[in-house]
Amino acid sequence: MAPAAAASASASAYSRYILLLSTSDHQFLLLPVLMSVVAVLVLQLLRRSSWMRKKMNNSGGGEGKGLPPPGSVGLPLVGETLRLIAAYKTEDPEPFIDERVRRHGRLFTTHVFGERTVFSADPEFNRVVLGGEGRSVECSYPSSISTLLGRHSLLLMRGALHKRMHSLTLTRLASPAAIRDSPLLFHIDRLVQTTLDSWAPQSRVLLLDQAKKITFELTVKQLVSYDPGEWTEALRREYLLLIEGFFSIPFPSFLSFTTYGRAIKARRKVAEALREVIRKRKEEKMRQNDDHDDKEGQGRRKKDMVAELLEAEEGFSEEEMVDFLLALLVAGYETTPTIMTLAVKFVTDNPPALSFLAEEHEKIRARKKDEMEPLDWSDYKSMPFTQCVINETLRVANIVGGIFRRAVTDLHFKGYTIPKGSKVFASFRAVHLDPEYYEEARTFNPWRWQTNDAVQQASGAGLFTPFGGGARLCPGYELARVVISVFLHHLVTRFSWEAAEDKLVFFPTTRTLKGYPINVCRRRKSLS
Ligand code: HEM
């Protein structure tokens, strides 16, 4: 989630503030609100005149200089935020973008979440934005979000350190080679099976909760090598409070009774727990270093993220390590489980896709010696239709709908000039659901990914970017696929289910309203 949650969370915090202002029992706020409206109007007039000056200067300028993209900035203060929220709270938010693309083209100006924003539904422009990280654009988060993430988190790092830590995360934690050559796939398989075995033979489960539990336990294992147990559960309880903070109004943190205040307190506790682990591991490492002949001890050394950080030549401080680990814990939490859940929802709603999927996994199971045998890398590589289901879920659900960036130079594109300092939103969703690029774009059709190289071609053209791209390409992209695949494997080979009534919404994040309750019926059990 991190980026997704962080982006949509900052959006959400602002929108809640706006919604609060618009309720009638807050008349005592009327005067300050009126004064702010007047101030904002004056500011907008001033800004407009500075844009006009820029326009005039540009009109005589060289090639590539031009006006900012056309559009509408809506109401003072709120801009088009309320319209956007209203659209994204429904099952069909597309008209919000369709309407503006029809009126202004794929690059348009709007005003959302407190700021004039250039909105891109253009795959070419999105490629420019993704590729321009650190040169023409950079990501920026509000301070309330940065405080929760920690200033040394990967999401907030820049420059050479970001490059180094991004590559470390990718190669050590989540690259195909890291997964293939380590016991990670075994751990994933075991965690999924243990969770599924904990379901009563006939029961109702909230699929999203179960998926979140699996991904949290897996990430803890990868970061600090702890197996599920009391420590992990206690950490998860604090962590859930922390996550809520991303979606709350950032009241001053000393107001500890507010959601944001509680989140800050929970962050301190999570950080303290991680700091303690780091200290213990430092002591262990020192003991092992003192005893050069302790071959057994060296063999016991853990190969997790803490080990990587302790061995890094940069010599990270405890605070840096804590921030880095904590943000990784946040990163996969909303995204992977939501895609796990929605993949199940979409195939449940599409019986031919479900039976195709089940057939693929039954074939894999049939090759196994016994029910308990975990999946291996070659099994994972023989799930072509599962990958189609995952791609199509990513395309249709768009858990990370797009990315916010700030232009650090003037951007010139198709005759427009986007002035330095502008906020830009590269919408992946708009491209993924554009009928110009996808046949029957708004229909779930996993078979569209069956042709050779369909993913590579679409990604290369900027038409399929669920994991972003460029320097900030999601380092968890393969890990997420593996976890979702293993989960689908065990679910479809061991259970049948019926889904209860639920509804898909897209604000403040993409999710089903009730967490997708399903009534499951066990067909067989693997672990005893
Ligand atoms: C289906 C699951 C996932 C999706 C759709 C997803 C999507 C994304 C996207 C679009 C970005 C780019 C954000 C930007 O450019 O601002 C990103 C970044 C990131 N993702 Fe993921 N992600 C997923 C799972 C994971 C997992 C499992 C991890 C854990 C390792 C992870 C860790 C991160 C990190 C650390 C970043 C920040 C990278 C940076 O700023 O350098 N993600 N993710």
pLDDT tens for residues 335-346? 999 999 999 999
What is the distance, to the nearest Å, from the Cα of residue 471 to the centroid of all Cα atoms in its chain?
Answer: 16
The pick from 1, 341, 474 for probing ligand 1's pocket by mutation, whose C-beta has the most ligand atoms within 8 angstroms, reads: 474
Q: Note the pLDDT of residue 193.
A: 95
Q: Which tokens hold the place of 262?
A: 């509680």
Report DSSP letters for 121-136, one per residue. --HHHHHHHHHTBTTT
Angstrom distance (rounded) from CA 510 to CA 397? 7
Ligand 1 centre to CA of 25 (Å) is 40
Ligand 1 centre to CA of 264 (Å) is 23
Closest CA to ligand 1's atom 1: 336
Angstrom distance (rounded) from CA 401 to CA 7? 10
- 180: DSSP letter: H
Which residue is it, tokens 């080990």? Answer: 307
**C-beta of residue 465 within 8 angstroms of C-beta of residue 472:** no
Q: Note the pLDDT of residue 8.
A: 55
Q: Which of 170, 161, 153, 182 is nearest to 313 (CA)?
A: 161
Q: Which of 147, 516, 111, 158 is nearest to 348 (CA)?
A: 516
**C-beta of residue 477 within 8 angstroms of C-beta of residue 339:** no
pLDDT tens for residues 398-433? 999 999 999 999 999 999 999 999 999 999 999 999
Q: Which tokens hold the place of 30?
A: 């009327």
Residue 107: beta bridge partners? 120
User: Is 338 exposed, middle or buried, given 0-12, 13-18 or 19+ CB atoms closer than 10 A?
Assistant: buried
139 is in an annotated binding site: no
- Atom from ligand 1 closest to the CA of residue 335: 2
User: In 419-450, which positions are buried (b, 16+ CB within 10 angstroms) versus exposed (e)?
Assistant: beebbbbbbbbbbbbbeeebeebeebbbebbe
Cα dist from 233 to 189, 239, 244, 334, whole Å = 20, 10, 17, 17
**C-beta of residue 58 within 8 angstroms of C-beta of residue 417:** yes
How long is the chain?
A: 528
Pocket of ligand 1, beta carbon within 6 A: 2-3, 139, 154-155, 166, 169, 173-174, 328, 331-332, 335-336, 339, 399-400, 403, 466-468, 472, 474-476, 479-480
Angstrom distance (rounded) from CA 290 to CA 298? 11
Cα dist from 328 to 1, 334, 375, 433, whole Å = 9, 12, 25, 29
Q: pTM of the predicted model, to two decimals? A: 0.88
Amino acid at 69: P
**Enclosing H/E stretch for 475:** none
Q: Note the pLDDT of residue 295.
A: 57
Domain ranges of the chain: 66-206+331-522
At residue 161's C-alpha, the angle toward residues 157 and 167, to 5°, is 95
| Each residue's pLDDT expressed in tens, for the chain with a length of 528 residues | 445 555 555 454 444 443 333 333 333 334 444 455 445 555 554 454 444 444 434 433 334 578 999 998 888 878 998 999 899 999 999 999 999 999 999 999 999 888 899 999 999 999 999 999 999 999 878 788 889 999 999 999 999 999 999 999 998 777 888 888 888 999 999 999 999 999 999 999 999 999 999 999 999 999 999 999 999 999 999 999 998 888 777 787 777 889 999 999 999 999 999 999 999 999 998 887 776 655 555 555 568 999 999 998 888 999 999 999 999 998 878 899 999 999 999 999 999 999 999 999 999 999 988 877 899 999 999 999 999 999 999 999 999 999 999 999 999 999 999 999 999 999 999 999 999 999 999 999 999 999 989 999 999 999 999 999 999 999 999 999 999 999 999 999 999 999 999 999 988 888 899 999 999 999 865 544
Amino acid at 157: M
Ligand 1 centre to CA of 266 (Å) is 23
- Give 388-450 as a 3 state SS string: HHHHHHHHHHCCCCEEEEEECCCEEECCEEECCCCEEEEEHHHHHCCCCCCCCCCCCCHHHHC
What are the backbone dihedrals phi and psi of residue 181, each rounded to the nearest 5 degrees, phi first? -95, 15
What ipTM is given for this predicted complex? 0.99
Task: Say if domain 66-206+331-522 classifies as CATH 1.10.630.10.
Answer: yes
Ligand 1 centre to CA of 522 (Å) is 33
What beta strand segments (E) does 34-158 contain? 107-112, 115-120, 137-138
- Atom from ligand 1 closest to the CA of residue 162: 41
Ligand 1 centre to CA of 333 (Å) is 10
Q: Where are the alpha helices (DSSP H) in 247-317?
A: 259-290, 295-300, 305-311
Closest CA to ligand 1's atom 3: 335
User: In 64-92, which positions are buried (b, 16+ CB within 10 angstroms) versus exposed (e)?
Assistant: ebbebbebebbebbbbbbbbbbebbeeee
Neighbouring residues of 390: CB distance < 8 A, sequence distance ≥ 6: 339, 343, 481, 484, 485
At residue 248's C-alpha, the angle toward residues 245 and 249, to 5°, is 125
Cα dist from 195 to 190, 217, 224, 426, 516, whole Å = 9, 10, 20, 37, 17
Closest CA to ligand 1's atom 13: 3
Q: Note the pLDDT of residue 31.
A: 43
